[in-house]
Amino acid sequence: MAKKVAKKDTPKKARAHAKPEGLSPLQVHLYDTSGASVGTVDLPPVFAGDVRVDLIQRAVVAFQANRRQPYAAKFRAGMRHSVRWPGKGVGAARTPRIRGTMIGAQSPNTVGGRQAFPPTTQRIWSKKVNEKERRLARNAALAAIHDGHLVSARGHRFSGKVTVPIVVQDALEEIESTSEAVDLLEALGVHEDLQRAKDGTHVRAGRGKMRGRRYRVPKGPLLVVRNAAHVRQGFGNLPGVDVATPSGLNAEVLAPGGNPGRLTIFSASALEALRGW
């Protein structure tokens, strides 16, 4: 009888963007402007929180709703006609007609007529979110950017050798030109994500293209620095790239559309500003 050979335990295939060995759960690499790792840095405790997707989506919807402006139909829209009703007994529907013709007008079921229930300025679009919920949503979005699987699942493309969030020395805040900004992103291994945002830029469908938002640009990397106005000179022209300060972080900036896990790049001093959150 043939002797059974025990199967060897084969190691499971490593997932993309797995946590590098030798680092603690709250530790990431510190990079210089050439993309080389020059040490490690401990993340603030806020990155160890729970990823509450429900709170993130609730806060993002509130941000979007509170930006809506009231609008309504123009006064007497669809009612600017000289109309008459021919009366009963003439074998015609009881629809107001333009005087001298049998063309229906003004009624909601006619071409060019008024709306039955037009939008009014009295409608309240805003949504209330408690301050504690808003803060928990922001902290949950911060915890999500430390999960490489969530960042990758959101569609961002970056090198599997880097740790997220990407922390760069403060020399990042001295970059002024767009060419230097592109060189930095290439050195950090996130230039492919920049190309994804550029290729995904397209003209918006429908009438939205005529209302100040002609192009739709996918969200790319987020830069968090202490001096956003200075850094925006070099990174502001790159498609999909946003620049923010630590005080300007919220659930919508960190998780656009309510989808957590945005690819984020911190300067070392900006990361230190998050301690105590």
Going by pLDDT thresholds of 50, 70 and 90, the confidence category of residue 86 is confident
pLDDT band at 211 (very low <50, low <70, confident <90, very high): confident
Q: Tokens for 21?
A: 């060995």
For residue 265, list its beta bridge partners.
166, 223
pLDDT in tens, 47-71: 999 999 999 999 999 999 999 999 9
- pLDDT score of 116 more than 60: yes
* Alpha-carbon gap, residue 145 to 191, rounded angstroms: 18
Out of 1.20.1730.10, 3.30.70.3040, 3.40.1370.10, 3.60.110.10, select the CATH number for domain 27-68+128-202+211-272. Answer: 3.40.1370.10
- The secondary structure of 39-97 as a DSSP string is EEEEPPGGGGS---HHHHHHHHHHHHHHT-----PPTTTT--S-EE---TTSSS-S--E
CA distances from residue 208 to 65, 101, 112 in whole angstroms, order as listed: 17, 37, 22
Q: With contact defined as beta carbons under 8 Å apart, do 17 and 164 qualify?
A: yes
pLDDT tens profile 236-268: 999 999 999 999 999 999 999 999 999 999 999
For the cut 80, the answer to whether the pLDDT of residue 234 exceeds it is yes
Q: Whole-angstrom Cα distance, residue 35 to residue 167?
A: 10
pTM comes to 0.83
Report whether pLDDT(94) > 50. yes
Q: Is the pLDDT of residue 5 over 80?
A: no
C-alpha span between 44 and 121 (Å, rounded): 45
pLDDT band at 137 (very low <50, low <70, confident <90, very high): very high
Q: Which residues contact 144 (CB under 8 A, 6 or more apart)?
A: 51, 56, 150, 151, 254, 255, 260, 261, 262
What's the whole-number mean pLDDT along residues 115-142? 96
Residue 17: the pLDDT is 60
Q: pLDDT tier at 9 (50, 70, 90 boundaries)? A: very low
Could you tell me the residue ranges of all domains in the chain?
27-68+128-202+211-272, 74-124
Residue 89 has pLDDT above 80, yes or no: yes
CA separation for the pair 241, 194 (Å, rounded): 8
For residue 138, how many other CB atoms are within 10 A of its CB? 22
What percent of the chain clears pLDDT 90, i.e. is strictly above it? 83
Average pLDDT over residues 108-123: 93
